[in-house]
Amino acid sequence: MTSSAAMPVVLLPGMDGTGELLKDLAGRLAQHRPVQLLAYPLDRPLSYPELASYVAERTPNQSFVILGESFSGPIAIDIAAADSRVAGLILASSFARHPLPAQLAALAGLVDLRWLPKRLIERALMGATATPELSACLHQVLAGLPQRILRGRAREVLRVDRRERLRGLSCPVMCLHGRFDHLVSSRQVGEIVAAQPRCQVHLLDASHMLLATHPEAAAKVIDDFCQAVEARADL
């Protein structure tokens, strides 16, 4: 049962921005604490600063932990840097700076997932852990996303750098990363730790979409982190 005294956790979704793929995780976390799973507007492309403002207007009016999955990691960093109510930051399968050259941002305008075989997308995002149900949900979500939204988000990713803001954080930080993640590599984890040497790193035997493919294991790691943040706040 959720304790009314437990610190809330805010979940920010990955590139799809819908939150649909995180509902299982949210349900498991909700057994222990209040959970706020946000979704982003689909009517227009928004930049990282605009999305950070959108999130900031919807955060709890109390201390909370914020989790940014993949694309949303930089947004979570922005919120943690600007809001003193953020008691902890979790970067799941995410990054502070994208490793590709900024010149590649122009190529993001050519991105169209409809050109890629479904099996290739599943393998890249979920590895060998994809279930028929999760695969169907993934493709349903992707089919409902306007291409201009995906392209806009891809452009944002290819030029983001939040390492300086990450360095200035005083709250606890954790990286939750999959050992078999081929989209966000251990190099990005290393950059996060270099900016935040006190950052905890927790690895799961999972691919990029570990929050969706391993919701039970991920929920336990996240709740353990939240409990440690609560204990720190009580000191």
DSSP per position, 132-174: HHHHHHHHHHHHTS-HHHHHHHHHHHTT-B-HHHHHT--S-EE
Q: What is the pLDDT along the chain (235 residues), one digit of tens a residue?
A: 566 689 999 999 999 999 999 999 999 999 999 999 999 999 999 999 999 999 999 999 999 999 999 999 999 999 999 999 999 999 999 999 986 655 554 554 545 555 555 677 787 788 888 888 998 998 899 889 898 898 888 888 988 999 999 999 999 999 999 999 988 989 999 999 999 999 999 999 999 999 999 999 999 999 999 999 999 887 6
User: Distance of CA 165 to CAs 94, 174, 221, Å?
Assistant: 15, 15, 25
Query: Cα angle vertex 211, ends 88, 161, to 5°?
Result: 55
Query: Cα angle vertex 230, ends 228, 235, to 5°?
Result: 95
Cβ atoms of 88 and 65 within 8 Å: the answer is yes
In angstroms, the CA 164 to CA 40 distance is 25
